[in-house]
Amino acid sequence: MIFPSRDFKVLSGFSSDLEARGVLCSPEPGTPQGRAMLTFMASDSEEEVCDERTSLMSAESPPPRCCQEARQGLEDGENAAQWRSQDSEEDLDDADRYVCSGVPGQPLGLEEELTLKYGAKHVIMLFVPVTLCMIVVVATIKSVRFYTEKNGQLPYGAGREQSLQPAISLSIYTPFTEDTPSVGQRLLNSVLNTLIMISVIVAMTIFLVVLYKYRCYKFIHGWLIMSSLMLLFLFTYIYLGEVLKTYNVAMDYPTLFLTVWNFGAVGMVCIHWKGPLVLQQAYLIMISALMALVFIKYLPEWSAWVILGAISVYDLVAVLCPKGPLRMLVETAQERNEPIFPALIYSSAMVWTVGMAKLDPSSQGALQLPYDPEMEEDSYDSFGEPSYPEVFEPPLPGSPEGELEEEEERGVKLGLGDFIFYSVLVGKAAATGSGDWNTTLACFVAILIGLCLTLLLLAVFKKALPALPISITFGLIFYFSTDNLVRPFMDTLASHQLYI
Amino acid sequence: MTAAVFFGCAFIAFGPALALYIFTIATEPLRVIFLIIGAFFWLVSLLFSSLFWFMARTITDNKDGPIQKYLLILGVLVSVLIQEMFRFMYYKLLKKASEGLKSINPDETAPSMRLLAYVSGLGFGIMSGVFAFVNTLSDSLGPGTVGIHGDSPQFFLNSAFMTLVIILLHVFWGIIFFDGCEKKKWSALLVVLLTHLLVSALTFISPHYGINLVSTYIIMVLMGIWAFFVAGGSCRSLKFCLLCQDKDFLLFNQRSR
């Protein structure tokens, strides 16, 4: 699921009255649900904002003045930041609320500049992690044989027991074998597998929504912690084992234990508590890649493709239909005015501390390392603060003086389910495309374009949107067409050394 | 074969493109997006060309013999046509997009059409080069002896240089093409199409690498010079640039003092 943590407007003529507020809901990787949703929802703190805003300028004020005031406001960089710090972490980017709201048809200058700049930058901020995740998955698939071997050909060695566990757990979800003689039977089996998988996912999501509705936060957090424990320790151990086997590197158990323990412990701390943003992002990318590798290995071939298709349809339905579970989740969170499940969402937001011109000229335009408490506040807001009330602490200890102001960069958040399924698609293209790199690259470009379009739609519609459908559709189309049409053509050209 | 050939050929083929990307495109998010969209357009054009070739092959029932070679040649020529068509469509899309951006925000400097021409050319070029060469590259990493059956042992080198020249040509073609569209000089479009056809046709004489490569490089240099002048360069500005006397360099020096 993809959503902005702030207003994410590209090419919007004038701000609507709805503020953007990021909200998340992403299934944890331990359960084989991975669907994505873009959420973008209206905030309730609009009323208070109105008062402040009207004190600055009225909605009917003529454009030049309001643009100028907006410019002022933005250069000082405060008022927005100031009461944003009092309010919830997910408070709106009021900076652009200042600008000429409700004056349609007038050139908006500064706001547009900012939103356009931010728009393209945030697209890239999502391209990079998605690309990195795909690179990790494709590199592993191409080099480590383990992930492309089918279950019946497990390699000898100690990895056998551990690697059987995910096999067993996943084969519960896909009980119908694909080793059938006829094509029709195989297709039927994969459709049945998909139905089972999707119904499991739907059931899990509804369970999650019910838990959330009845405020069983401890249970949810326990669940999330258990699944990230499994990913960070068990799957990392298996992965490391297979990589070492592939490259024939010996590692003794004490070193292995130390490595895996450190990796896992730091990962748990970064994801569920506080840590540098870059490290959190890196860990989230790694666990998405690990999960995607598990899916690639243990889902039967045709079932995987049908599941990918079905899950994008489900994502579309769950996020956009009024009765969809994800939409209900979002609305519940909105009513309670709190973020949902801060864990397992990738956030591209950055935090700057901007010094005010009057008081602190030395840090003007600072892009330096932000003041730690603020950064941690922001990062754990995004990522999984166990107890919700703490999320709303004012992040600035010195805010009464207004000396250092926090200006949170508008960011976009993408659910980890998205990463996982994008990587599954590209990984499968790499695994089954008969060693063909063209298919992999075509799927990669298709997914990036889909993501671009989705972000554009997000900016246009300003509401929760599913991130899977467009990208997965493009990816599937390009996979099948490149594998069957382009590959023979390019192979023939290459063998005759012709260039087009 | 093995790592030396792999890295050597990879850097020959993709080095300049990578450098161009890092120095001119990677810093600006909007340019990266336009690059990827350009790559996507090339990909779609390839899809249509493959579809055409596939259909032509099924119509002739996959008979072996000279007809396959003719079909391939036809496929290549049609593919070039489709690529240029998609370049035109990308131009139209960019035109609409930049008009949209300008109307919403006249102050903000949206990327100019010239810059977009360069970016789109690079996108086309990178995608084209990658699709042509990546499979060959990955094969070069493994063991083997090139030319053991009498083929040329310079297979990889030749492919690498050819890929490089195609990438650069796409950049120059992009610039010339978009400029021709902007100024409604349809002759420029025709020349781009014809040179593209010529370059592809030259590869038909593939065992004779010498003629093939040299003539393609000559065409590339000519296109480069044309693109340079089309993009607003002049002999004077080139002289200043080479003698480090251009405005940017001077201003930069003053600032650092």
Q: How far apart are CA A363 and CA A357, in angstroms?
A: 8
Q: How far apart are CA A261 and CA A373, in angstroms?
A: 27
Of B40, B135, B159, the CB nearest to A438: B135
Which residues on B lie below 8 Å from A438 (Cβ)?
A: 131, 134-135
Q: How far apart are CA A150 and CA A171, in angstroms?
A: 12
Q: How far apart are CA B255 and CA B249, in angstroms?
A: 10
The pLDDT value recorded for residue A288 is 94
Helical residues (DSSP H) of A42-109, grouped into ranges? 46-56, 63-76, 79-86
Average pLDDT over residues A409-423: 85
Domain boundaries, chain B: 1-246
- Closest residue in B to A114 (Cα–Cα): B108
User: Does residue A215 or residue A33 have the better pLDDT?
Assistant: A215
Which residues on B lie below 8 Å from A486 (Cβ)?
A: 46-47, 50
**CB B135, CB A437: distance < 8 Å:** yes
Q: How far apart are CA A426 and CA A435, in angstroms?
A: 13
The pLDDT value recorded for residue A167 is 65
Complex ipTM:
0.92
Tens-digit pLDDT profile for residues A452-491 = 999 988 888 877 789 999 999 999 999 999 999 999 999 9
Q: What is the pTM for the complete model shown?
A: 0.77
pLDDT band at A156 (very low <50, low <70, confident <90, very high): very low
pLDDT tops 80 at residue A297:
yes
Amino acid at site B121 = G
Average pLDDT over residues A183-202: 91
Give the distance from residue B44's alpha carbon to the nearest chain A alpha carbon, in angstroms.
9
For the record, the structure tokens of B196 come out as 């593209």
Give the distance from residue A110's alpha carbon to the nearest chain B alpha carbon, in angstroms.
9
**CB B79, CB B56: distance < 8 Å:** no
pLDDT tops 60 at residue A114:
no
Total count of residues recorded for chain B: 257
Q: At what angle do helices B186-202 and B209-230 cross, to 10 degrees?
A: 160
The pLDDT value recorded for residue A444 is 96
The pLDDT value recorded for residue A368 is 34
- Which of B33, B35, B109, B133 is the mutation pick for testing A, counting most A CBs within 10 A? B33
How far lies A105's CA from each of A9, A14, A15, A456, in Å? 16, 8, 12, 21
Q: How far apart are CA B67 and CA B51, in angstroms?
A: 18
- Closest residue in B to A490 (Cα–Cα): B132
Q: Which of A479, A408, A450, A438 is nearest to A4 (CA)?
A: A408
Tens-digit pLDDT profile for residues A373-407 = 333 333 333 333 333 333 333 444 434 444 444 44
The pLDDT value recorded for residue A71 is 43
